[in-house]
C-alpha cells in the first residue's frame, strides 16, 4: 500500500481485509460442514438416491441405492439407469414419465425394477428435474415397497380365504356361486352341498384345539380332492360347502359319493376318527337362480337335516321354504336398514354398583324398529345377519354409533364408560384395532371411555389370530376388556389366567333362579371367588329382584345389571334418568329400591347415595 503514508495507516487498512477474509473462511468451512452433514444424511437414508445428468448418465448414488439394487457405486456411475429396468413397463409409460419431468419438473409413482441378482421388486419413485448453471440434472429418490406389496396381497388373500384351511371363505364362495350361476348353459345345473361336521366340539374337547385344527385341515384336503373341477370352501367353524357344474348328473348319487368319501376314517394324533356329517343340498336353477335364494335354501336343507337327528342328508324341498321367503325378506330389510337412518338405534342399559346403586357405565344394545313389522328381536336378526354376511357391517355400525354418542355425552359434561360387544367377524375380517383408533380420533373420544365385551367363543376363535397380544394392545391404549356371557361357552381357567381381561359378566342363566336354586348359587359363588382370585371385577347380568341383588351383594359381587335397577333405554332417556328428578324427589336408586325392596330394606335405600354419572375407572 505505497499510497498510504506511515506504517500505522497501512496496518489499519489491512484489518478490514483480514476480518473479511476470516469471515469468508468461516463461511466456507460452514458450507463445507453443511455439505458433509447433508452427504452423511443422504448415505444414512433408507431411501435410495440416484442423480443423473441431462444425458441420463448416473453421477452419484447413496448407500441405500446399493443396498436395494445390489449395484456398487462404481458399477452404476457413468451408466444409464435403464439397466435396472424389469421390462414390465412399455414405451408409453416411459414417454409419460419423461414428459411429466419436462413439463412439471416432477413425477411420482410405482415402478418395477430388477436387482443385480435378477429378482424384480416394486419401488415407490419420486423424481425431480433441476437446472443449475445451464445444466440439467435428474434427482430420483425411491423406496423398496416389496414388504408393503406382499402385505397387501396377504390381506387381500385373507379377505377371500379361510385362514386355517386355505379354502375360499363365505365372501369368495358367494362370488364364485354368482359366476357359476351366471355361466350355466342350456341343460347344465349347479349342484351344491352344505356339510356340517356333527359334534365337532366334542372332538375339540378330546383332541384339543390344535388337534381339532388338524382334523379340519385333513377334512378340507379330502373335500378339495372330491371337488374335481368344482369348488370347495369353508364358511364357518364346522360348515363346508362344495359345488359342481353338471350336465345331467344324478344329484342323489353325488351326495352319496360325498358322504361315502368324507366319512372314511381320519387319523389325527394317533387316533382313528369316524365323522358324522349332516348334509343339506340343492340344485340350481331347479331350486332357484338368485344366489342369495340358493344359499338360503341350502341352509334350510341343512337345518332340516339337523332337526331330523343329524348325520343324515336332506335335499331342499318347497315345504322347507315356508319360512325361507320371510327370512330372506327380513335379511333384505336389514340390509336396507343399514343403508337408511332411523330404523337401527342403540339403547343403553346402566351397570350399577351393587351396594350403592351408583352408575359408572352402560352397555350399548342394538335395537331394530322395522317400519312395518315393528320391533324385531335381536334374537331374530343377529343370527340372520350372521347367515347373510351382514355381521361385520352391523358390528361396525354399532361401534361408530357408540363412539359418536360418547362424544355427545362428553361434550355435555357426562362421564361414563360405554361397553360395546365385539363380534368374531370384526376381529377376523376387519382391521379392528386400526378402525377403532380412527373412530376415537375422529370424534375425540378417549379409549378408556369405550369398554369392549367379547364372548368366550370369540376369545377362543383362532381365526382372530394372537388374541392375547391383540387384547393387550387394546388394553394398553386404555380400553377395558370384559368376558361376556361367562359360563355359557367353553369356560377355561387356562385362558382366563393368560388373557388380559378386566371383568367377567356372569350370564343371566345363573342369576335367574337365585337365591333358591342351590346349583346356580354354588356356581355363582365359585365364579365370584375365582374372579376375586384372578383380580377381576364381576358383573352379574339379568338381576331382576331385590333378593337376587341382596344375595349378590352379600357374596361380594361388585356390579349388577338388569331390570331391578333399569331397563335398556335410548340415550336421551338414560341421561334424564341419571340426572335425577326435580328437587325434593327421590333419586332413581331410591325410587327403584322403594319399588322393589321389602320394608326392612327401604330404610337402607333412603340413606344410600343417589345414582349419578361418575368417571369411568
pLDDT digits 0-9 by tens, 192-220: 999 999 878 777 777 777 888 889 999 99
pLDDT at 306: 80
Angle (CA) 351 491 214, round 5°:
135
C-alpha to C-alpha distance for 418 and 422, rounded to whole angstroms: 13
The string of pLDDT tens digits covering residues 503-541 is 888 878 788 878 877 777 888 888 888 888 888 888 888
The string of pLDDT tens digits covering residues 278-310 is 999 999 988 888 888 888 888 888 888 887 777
Q: What average pLDDT does this structure show over 86-91?
A: 89
* Other beta carbons less than 10 A from residue 173's beta carbon: 25
pLDDT at 65: 92
- For the cut 60, the answer to whether the pLDDT of residue 323 exceeds it is no
Angle (CA) 167 468 562, round 5°:
100
- For the cut 50, the answer to whether the pLDDT of residue 606 exceeds it is no
Q: Which of residues 241 and 42 earns the better pLDDT score? A: 241
* Other beta carbons less than 10 A from residue 469's beta carbon: 10
**Cell representation of residue 522:** 354354588
C-alpha to C-alpha distance for 325 and 323, rounded to whole angstroms: 6
pLDDT at 447: 93
Q: Are 528 and 556 in contact (CB under 8 A)?
A: yes
- Provide the whole-model pTM: 0.50
How far apart, in Å, are the Cα atoms of 205 and each of 134, 211, 226, 323? 79, 9, 28, 35
Burial 374-398, CB ≥16 within 10 A → b, else e? eebeeeebbebbbbbbbbbbbbbbb
C-alpha to C-alpha distance for 198 and 410, rounded to whole angstroms: 49
How far apart, in Å, are the Cα atoms of 183 and each of 190, 193, 260, 613? 10, 19, 30, 61
The string of pLDDT tens digits covering residues 551-576 is 888 888 888 888 888 889 998 888 87
C-alpha to C-alpha distance for 547 and 553, rounded to whole angstroms: 10
- For the cut 50, the answer to whether the pLDDT of residue 372 exceeds it is yes
How far apart, in Å, are the Cα atoms of 266 and each of 204, 239, 282, 460? 14, 17, 27, 24
- For the cut 90, the answer to whether the pLDDT of residue 583 exceeds it is no
Sheet holding 239-246, edge to edge: 231-234, 239-246, 189-197, 277-284, 313-315
Q: Are 536 and 504 in contact (CB under 8 A)?
A: yes
C-alpha to C-alpha distance for 521 and 554, rounded to whole angstroms: 12
C-alpha to C-alpha distance for 202 and 213, rounded to whole angstroms: 13
The string of pLDDT tens digits covering residues 411-463 is 988 888 999 998 877 877 657 888 898 899 999 999 999 999 988 767 765 55
C-alpha to C-alpha distance for 192 and 244, rounded to whole angstroms: 7
What is the DSSP secondary-structure string of 377-435?
Answer: -HHHHHHHHHHTT-HHHHHHHHHHHHHHHHHHHHHTT---EEEEE--HHHHHTS-HHHH
C-alpha to C-alpha distance for 49 and 457, rounded to whole angstroms: 51
The string of pLDDT tens digits covering residues 19-40 is 777 777 777 777 666 666 666 6
- For the cut 80, the answer to whether the pLDDT of residue 244 exceeds it is yes
**Cell representation of residue 347:** 339403547
C-alpha to C-alpha distance for 465 and 216, rounded to whole angstroms: 17
Return mean pLDDT, the chain: 80
- For the cut 90, the answer to whether the pLDDT of residue 403 exceeds it is yes
pLDDT at 190: 92
How far apart, in Å, are the Cα atoms of 565 and each of 89, 361, 591, 605, 611? 69, 13, 9, 13, 10
pLDDT at 158: 55
How far apart, in Å, are the Cα atoms of 449 and each of 362, 408, 612? 10, 12, 16
Amino acid at each position: 500500500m505505497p499510497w498510504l503514508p506511515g506504517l500505522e495507516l497501512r496496518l489499519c487498512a489491512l484489518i478490514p481485509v483480514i476480518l473479511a477474509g476470516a469471515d469468508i473462511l468461516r463461511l466456507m468451512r460452514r458450507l463445507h460442514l453443511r455439505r458433509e452433514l447433508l452427504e452423511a444424511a443422504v448415505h444414512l437414508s433408507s431411501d435410495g438416491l440416484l442423480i443423473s445428468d441431462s444425458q441420463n448418465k448416473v453421477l452419484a448414488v447413496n448407500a441405500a441405492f446399493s443396498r436395494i439394487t445390489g449395484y456398487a457405486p462404481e458399477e452404476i456411475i457413468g451408466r444409464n439407469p435403464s439397466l435396472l429396468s424389469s421390462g414390465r413397463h412399455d414405451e408409453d409409460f416411459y414417454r409419460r414419465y419423461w414428459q411429466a419431468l419436462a413439463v412439471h419438473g416432477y413425477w411420482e409413482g410405482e415402478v418395477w425394477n430388477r436387482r443385480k441378482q435378477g429378482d424384480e421388486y416394486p419401488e415407490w419413485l419420486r423424481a425431480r428435474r433441476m437446472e443449475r448453471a445451464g445444466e440439467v440434472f435428474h434427482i430420483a429418490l425411491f423406496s423398496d415397497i416389496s414388504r408393503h406389496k406382499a402385505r397387501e396381497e396377504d390381506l387381500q388373500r385373507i379377505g377371500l380365504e379361510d385362514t386355517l384351511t386355505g379354502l375360499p371363505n363365505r365372501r369368495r364362495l358367494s362370488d364364485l356361486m354368482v359366476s357359476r350361476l351366471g355361466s350355466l348353459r342350456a341343460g347344465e345345473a349347479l349342484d351344491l352341498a352344505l356339510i356340517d361336521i356333527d359334534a365337532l366340539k366334542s372332538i375339540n374337547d378330546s383332541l384339543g384345539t390344535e388337534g381339532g385344527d388338524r382334523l379340519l385341515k385333513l377334512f378340507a384336503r379330502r373335500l378339495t380332492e372330491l371337488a374335481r373341477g368344482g369348488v370347495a370352501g369353508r364358511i364357518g367353524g364346522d360348515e363346508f360347502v362344495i359345488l359342481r357344474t353338471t350336465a345331467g348328473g344324478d344329484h342323489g348319487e353325488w351326495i352319496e359319493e360325498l358322504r361315502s368319501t368324507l366319512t372314511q376314517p381320519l387319523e389325527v394324533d394317533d387316533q382313528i376318527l369316524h365323522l358324522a356329517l349332516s348334509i343339506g343340498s340343492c340344485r340350481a336353477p331347479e331350486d332357484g337362480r338368485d344366489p342369495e335364494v340358493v344359499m338360503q335354501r341350502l341352509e334350510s336343507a341343512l337345518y332340516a337335516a339337523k332337526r331330523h337327528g343329524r348325520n343324515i342328508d336332506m335335499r331342499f324341498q318347497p315345504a322347507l321354504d315356508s319360512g325361507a321367503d320371510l327370512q330372506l325378506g327380513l335379511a333384505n330389510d336389514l340390509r336396507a336398514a343399514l343403508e337408511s337412518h332411523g330404523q337401527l338405534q342403540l339403547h343403553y342399559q346402566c351397570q350399577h354398583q351393587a351396594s350403592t346403586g351408583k352408575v359408572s357405565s352402560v352397555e350399548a344394545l342394538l335395537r331394530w324398529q322395522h317400519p312395518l313389522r315393528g320391533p324385531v328381536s335381536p334374537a331374530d336378526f343377529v343370527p340372520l345377519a350372521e347367515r347373510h354376511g351382514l355381521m361385520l357391517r352391523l358390528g361396525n355400525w354399532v361401534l361408530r354409533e357408540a363412539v359418536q354418542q360418547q362424544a355427545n355425552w362428553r361434550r355435555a359434561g357426562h362421564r361414563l364408560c360405554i361397553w360395546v360387544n365385539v363380534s368374531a367377524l370384526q376381529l377376523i375380517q376387519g382391521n379392528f384395532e386400526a378402525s377403532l383408533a380412527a373412530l376415537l380420533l375422529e370424534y375425540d373420544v378417549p379409549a378408556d371411555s369405550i369398554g369392549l365385551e367379547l364372548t368366550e367363543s370369540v376369545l377362543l376363535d383362532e381365526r382372530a389370530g394372537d388374541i392375547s397380544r391383540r387384547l393387550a394392545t387394546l388394553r394398553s391404549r386404555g380400553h377395558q376388556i370384559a368376558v361376556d356371557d361367562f359360563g355359557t361357552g367353553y369356560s377355561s381357567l387356562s385362558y382366563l389366567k393368560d388373557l388380559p381381561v378386566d371383568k367377567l359378566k356372569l350370564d343371566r342363566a345363573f342369576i335367574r333362579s337365585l337365591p333358591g336354586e342351590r346349583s346356580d348359587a354354588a356356581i355363582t359363588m365359585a365364579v365370584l371367588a375365582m374372579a376375586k382370585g384372578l383380580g377381576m371385577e364381576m358383573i352379574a347380568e339379568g338381576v331382576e329382584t331385590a333378593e337376587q341383588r341382596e344375595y349378590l351383594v352379600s357374596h361380594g359381587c361388585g356390579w349388577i345389571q338388569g331390570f331391578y335397577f333399569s331397563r335398556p333405554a335410548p340415550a336421551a332417556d338414560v341421561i334424564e334418568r341419571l340426572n335425577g328428578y326435580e328437587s325434593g324427589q327421590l333419586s332413581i336408586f331410591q325410587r327403584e329400591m322403594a319399588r322393589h325392596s321389602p320394608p326392612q330394606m327401604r330404610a337402607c335405600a333412603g340413606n344410600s347415595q343417589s345414582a349419578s354419572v361418575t368417571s369411568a375407572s
